[in-house]
Structure 1
Amino acid sequence: MSDLSGTSDDERFFLHSGRRWRKTDPSLPEDVKAQLMSHLGRGRSGVRNSAKGDDGAALPRARRTVQLAKEGLGERGTPWWEQSAAERTARWTTALEELDGMQALRRGGASRKGPAGA
């Protein structure tokens, strides 16, 4: 990974509807970026759909998923251009581990609705 501390604001932010948003860390490997974007999409969908369900824990879970994915992408938390290569790698690795763990728990919980859970 290269040193990103010399990046300009044009490389760090984009404008949308008059608001400045932090760009995704350009040093992310494509497979990592794809995984984080997938988690982000599922989290956003969960936020959108949580009002329709009766699961009171759904909205906080979905918001946590969005937060972790955005942190992993470098869009929230410590700015990616202020982090060393090791810190950036730790950031996305930690985020993916937690996101994958949350997903596994949800899947595991869903599969326990058989006779043992009745």
Structure 2
Amino acid sequence: MPAPADDGPPPVTPDGRYLVVRGRLWRRANPALAQERREELVAELMSARRAKGAAVRAGDAAAREEARARVDRAKHALGERGPVWWDDGAPDLNRHLVSTTPYAGWFAQLGG
């Protein structure tokens, strides 16, 4: 199911846990992170992604794997992977189709 038809930012679930891209939920960063720390982690994530792309273009498998590990560490530190950052016992629906989750009705109201 596609996202609502506009060029704005992806919709964010009412509880702030996920954003929806091409009909799929993606976990957002932990909002409890200090802004400065979040910015550092995002900068590291982008640097690691650039390094991965360069390694792929160069055909350097070892560098690609190191860059992938850097991406994974940054995503864990941001809270986008690993244990969930909320504490109410709600399951992690990361990468689920929004139409198969409790967010389906909300998303349908957006035109998704």
TM-score of the pair, normalised by structure 1: 0.59
Q: 2:26 aligns with which of 21, 24, 28?
A: 21
Question: Which ranges of 4 or more aligned residues in structure 1 deviate by more than 3 Å?
Answer: none
Q: What is residue 105 of structure 2 aligned with on the other side?
A: none
Give percent identity, aligned residues only. Answer: 34
Q: Aligned-pair distance for 1:54?
A: 4.8
User: Hey, what's the Cα distance between the residues in 1 that align with 2:76 and 2:37?
Assistant: 13
Amino acid corresponding to residue 19 of structure 2 in structure 1: F
Cα gap change, 1:11 to 1:54, in 2 (>3 Å): closer
Q: Judge which range, 22-31 or 48-57, deviates more.
A: 48-57
User: Hey, what's the Cα distance between the residues in 1 that align with 2:34 and 2:54?
Assistant: 30
Q: Judge which range, 60-69 or 49-58, deviates more.
A: 49-58
- 2:69 matches 1:76: no
Cα gap change, 1:9 to 1:75, in 2 (>3 Å): farther
Q: Aligned-pair distance for 1:42?
A: 0.7
- 2:45 matches 1:35: no
Higher relative contact order (CA 8 A, sep 6+): 2
Q: Which residues of structure 1 form unaligned runs of 5+?
A: 1-7, 84-118
Aligned length: 76
User: Hey, what's the Cα distance between the residues in 1 that align with 2:61 and 2:73?
Assistant: 20
Give the structure with higher Rg (CA): 1
Q: What is residue 91 of structure 1 aligned with on the other side?
A: none
